[in-house]
A = this chain, B = another copy of it.
Amino acid sequence: MTAHFDPTMVKLTEQKPSQNTKTPEPANLAEILRLAGLRPTRQRLAIAALLLDGRHRHVTADSLTEEIVAAGLYVSSGTVYNTLNQFTHAGLLRRVVIHNEYSLFDTNTDHHHHFYEAENDQLVDIPNDDVVLAQLPNAPAGHEIKAVDVIIHIRHKTAPK
């Protein structure tokens, strides 16, 4: 199902400069990685070539591994995970978590939202009135909205590191 993809063909020429205003336009992928504080290894370059070409899409560690194999390369699954996390930490990717594993069950069935502090794994209720969604999109054709979850990720103001 995955289209064949030659990582050497990937250019950044048409990439939207909409990413990070503080990131200067990098000459190549290796430079992007260096700016992120990551050594441009064969594995990271392969993944960067696949993901940082300006296309907007969603991948899982698994689907990405398939693409890498389809490109005639190989990267161990541990490294795929590490790289994905490193790229995310560097702001090159965004992590979206959907459902699955490790849920909290809230005895408050009224609609409300949450602060989440990752450091201490703390979840705090937000009174419903404190979050006002002025506009929501229509659900895709044939669908209806079942629920809206707003999770506001927070962190300590003073950088702990």
Given A88-B105, A94-B106, A104-B58, A131 contacting B140 (CB threshold 8 A): no
A3–B125 alpha-carbon span in the complex (Å) = 21
Query: Nearest chain B CB to A78's CB is how many angstroms away?
Result: 16
Question: Which single residue of chain B is at the shortest CB-CB distance from A53?
Answer: B107
Residues of A in contact, count (CB < 8 Å): 89
A27 lies within 8 A of chain B by Cβ: no
- Give a binary string over A26-62; 1 marks a CB under 8 Å from any B CB, 0 the rest: 0000000000000000000000000110011111110
A158 and B84 CA atoms in complex are apart in Å by: 38
| A81 to B121 CA separation, bound complex (whole angstroms) | 21
Which B residue sits closest to A59, measured CB to CB? B105
B144 contacts A14, C-beta separation under 8 Å: yes
CB-defined contacts of A150 to chain B, threshold 8 Å: 133, 148-150
A100 and B101 contact, Cβ closer than 8 Å, known pairs A137-B130, A147-B12: yes
B-contacting residues of A (Cβ < 8 Å)?
1-2, 4-5, 7, 10-15, 18-20, 51-52, 55-61, 64, 84, 87-88, 91-111, 114-118, 121, 123-128, 130-158
In the bound complex, CA of A118 to CA of B8 (Å) = 32
Q: Which of B4, B88, B153 contacts A149 (CB 8 A)?
A: B153
* Residues in chain B near residue A131, CB distance under 8 A: 133, 135-137
B2 touches A139 (CB 8 A): yes
